[in-house]
Amino acid sequence: MRIAGITLPENKRMEIALTAVYGIGRSRAQGILRDARIEYGKKPNELSAEEENEVRKIVESLRIEGDLKREVSSNVKRLKDIKCYRGNRHVRRLPVNGQRTKTNSRTVRGNVRKTMGSGKKTVDKK
């Protein structure tokens, strides 16, 4: 089954399979299935044509995939352009929402540990 250009995994439950689409998480997938009156545990290959069309219609009414990615990137670009604090954090590739940087955010900043005991300094002999 394909939705919004994404092939849903056939062997997973529908509530999990729908999360393969960017912009649909677990709770939104459950809401879609609730609106379409489909059990969460059904698998994509077990759906009838009517059920597939109902799910597809609901999903296409949402902002997902390319549109959502475009909107998020334009929001970040706007923050960078107006040079606000959050925009500067994005530019410097640092955590934006107030997280600590001394011990966390290693993946973004690189695994650089700047602590007191890192690296022995050579002592000059007289």
pLDDT at 126 over 70: no
What are the helix and strand counts (H, E) for the chain? Answer: 6, 2
pLDDT at 79 over 70: yes
pLDDT at 120 over 70: no
Q: What is the pLDDT of residues 22-39, one digit of tens each?
A: 999 999 999 999 999 999
C-alpha to C-alpha distance for 108 and 122, rounded to whole angstroms: 31
Instruction: Return the pLDDT at 70.
Output: 95
In single-letter form, the type of residue at position 110 comes to: G
Instruction: Return the pLDDT at 84.
Output: 95
Would you state the torsion angle of the CA atoms of residues 27, 89, 86, 63, taken in this order, to the nearest 10 degrees? Answer: -30
Q: What is the pLDDT of residues 103-113, one digit of tens each?
A: 888 777 777 76
Output 29-34 pairs: Cβ under 8 A, ≥24 positions apart: 32/58, 32/59
Domains and CATH numbers, the chain: 2-62 (1.10.8.50), 72-109 (4.10.910.10)
pLDDT at 121 over 80: no
